[in-house]
């Protein structure tokens, strides 16, 4: 489960995504430098394929056990996020995962259009498939939001079938949305892609209709990084306290209900005319997390790490201990006010940063300020919130499993 949105504005663009997966699945944020002189084959999550001769540098938010990425941006300003979509017919037991397709396109594409074409070519050659669940089997097809500074595309798929459409601003969730108005589709003849391929039961219970309605409302007036932060922190109107009730229908998804996952990582990419600034939580639950700034191409600094750096997983786990302590608590208003004030100061500092050295100092300072921020709040002192025994039991099982591993 996930939600992705993006829009073009003022010679640049904004991209934002929440990755909703198992609450126990660490997601690492890694900077992968460009590479040249490559040959042979690479091993994706389940299958091998020929390596490209060279790859672009890319910042990838990656489930720790997977080769592919949930979302990311490359050195050409190409941003991609994928969504699980539920389609008619059997899902392939192996192939490229949606996350593999995200990473491959980011590593091999110099524009949004090239990334779109890359995903389509890989999909038609290798197909999509394989179990994408961390602690349970989970098979699905994929949709993608792909953008750069000049174009935004939504690509939706069902097996090897596909359709895409170009937009100025759009959001996607765990459902097909393009009907017969697509710009192009597999086979060449326009069809109502959504009606033809949607599997209705899983699509309905995914909560994606309500979540997409939330991001669509945000898109109507969104202009800034702060607007994107607000969008990714949205809870459904029926959820009064997400730490006392699970909600699959919230963009900021919280585990604990009968169905649904948990937002385990969040990323916003600001494609400014002359630079790319990433704002990332490096943690679950964006509603109580801090979005830290990172200038694309800078030396890795938490929450960004080098590829396969053990500290990346350790960072996510260290953040998670605080969030688990919030289960069944009321978060005081003062917490959110302090969160907003600190982020506002960081956004101001990022806007004033003149060069890479200024930004590197800012990112390093944010890491220290984040540590101090969480140290001043003790969840044991927060008021308890009423929640069902089933809700607590579900979280207890997850936390015990996380501690064992």
Q: What positions carry a catalytic annotation?
A: 2
359 within 8 A of 303, measured Cβ to Cβ: no
Q: Ramachandran region of residue 328, left (φ > 0), alpha (ψ -120 to 50) or beta?
A: left
Q: Which residue has the tokens 């039991």?
A: 393
Bond preceding residue 303 cis, omega within 30 of 0: yes
Sheet holding 292-295, edge to edge: 169-172, 2-9, 12-21, 262-271, 276-280, 292-295
- How far apart CA 201 and CA 321 sit, in angstroms, is 35
Strands (E), 109-224: 141-147, 152-158, 161-167, 169-172, 184-185
**358 Cβ contact list (under 8 Å, min separation 6):** 352
Closest CA to 229 of 213, 218, 240: 218
């Amino acid at each position: 489960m996930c939600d992705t949105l993006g829009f073009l504005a003022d010679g640049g663009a904004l991209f934002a995504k929440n990755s909703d997966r198992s609450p126990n699945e660490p997601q690492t944020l890694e900077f992968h430098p460009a590479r040249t002189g490559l040959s042979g084959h690479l091993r994706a999550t389940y299958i091998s394929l020929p390596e490209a001769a060279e790859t672009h540098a890319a910042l990838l938010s990656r489930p720790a056990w997977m080769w592919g990425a949930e979302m990311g941006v490359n050195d050409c300003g190409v941003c991609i996020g994928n969504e699980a979509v539920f389609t008619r017919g059997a899902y392939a037991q192996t192939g490229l995962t949606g996350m593999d397709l995200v990473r491959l396109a980011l590593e091999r594409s110099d524009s949004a259009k090239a990334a779109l074409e890359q995903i389509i070519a890989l999909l038609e050659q290798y197909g999509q498939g394989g179990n994408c669940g961390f602690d349970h089997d989970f098979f699905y097809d994929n949709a993608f939001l792909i953008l750069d500074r000049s174009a935004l595309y939504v690509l939706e798929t069902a097996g090897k079938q596909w359709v895409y459409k170009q937009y100025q601003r759009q959001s996607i969730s765990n459902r097909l949305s393009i009907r017969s108005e697509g710009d192009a589709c597999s086979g060449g003849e326009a069809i109502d892609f959504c009606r033809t391929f949607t599997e209705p039961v899983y699509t309905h219970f995914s909560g994606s209709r309500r979540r997409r309605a939330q991001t669509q409302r945000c898109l109507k007036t969104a202009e800034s990084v702060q607007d994107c932060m607000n969008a990714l922190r949205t809870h459904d109107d029926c959820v009064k306290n997400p730490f006392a009730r699970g909600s699959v229908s919230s963009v900021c998804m919280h585990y604990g209900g009968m169905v649904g996952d948990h937002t385990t990582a969040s990323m916003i990419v600001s494609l400014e005319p002359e630079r790319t600034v990433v704002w990332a939580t490096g943690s679950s639950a964006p509603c109580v997390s801090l979005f830290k700034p990172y200038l694309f191409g800078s030396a890795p600094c938490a929450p960004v790490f080098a590829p396969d750096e053990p500290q990346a997983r350790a960072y996510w786990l260290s953040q998670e201990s605080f969030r688990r302590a919030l289960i069944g608590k009321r978060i005081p208003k003062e917490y959110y006010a302090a969160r907003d004030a600190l982020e506002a100061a960081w956004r101001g500092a990022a806007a004033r940063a003149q060069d890479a050295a200024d930004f590197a100092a800012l990112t390093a300072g944010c890491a220290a300020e984040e540590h101090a921020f969480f140290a001043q709040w003790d969840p044991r002192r927060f008021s308890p919130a009423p929640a069902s025994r089933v809700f607590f039991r579900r979280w207890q099982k997850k936390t015990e499993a996380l501690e064992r591993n």
